[in-house]
Amino acid sequence: MLHVLLDVLAQRQPFVVASAQALNTVTQEDVEGYVSGHAITNIFYILRRQVGSEAALRLLSTLLQRCSAVLGRQRGLGGLPHERLPWFPPLAIASRQRIQIASITDQVIRAALQSSMTDFEDAVTSEAALALGLDLIVTRNISDFVSSSVPVMLPEEFLAALSEST
Residue 36 within a domain:
yes
Task: Return d(Cα 103, Cα 40) in angstroms, integer.
Answer: 11
Query: CATH number for the domain including 149?
Result: 3.40.50.1010
Of 33-42, 87-96, 125-134, minimum mean pLDDT range: 87-96
The answer to whether residue 112 scores a pLDDT higher than 80 is yes
Residue 18 within a domain:
yes
Residue 107 within a domain:
yes
Phi, psi of 142 (to 5 degrees): -70, -25
Residue 47 within a domain:
yes
Task: Return d(Cα 153, Cα 141) in angstroms, integer.
Answer: 9
In tens, the pLDDT along 9-37 reads: 777 788 888 888 888 777 665 777 888 88
Contact in structure between 62 and 77 (CB atoms under 8 Å): yes
Residue 85 within a domain:
no
The helix-helix angle for 2-9 and 53-65 (nearest 10°) equals 110
Q: How many domains does the chain have?
A: 1
The answer to whether residue 94 scores a pLDDT higher than 50 is no
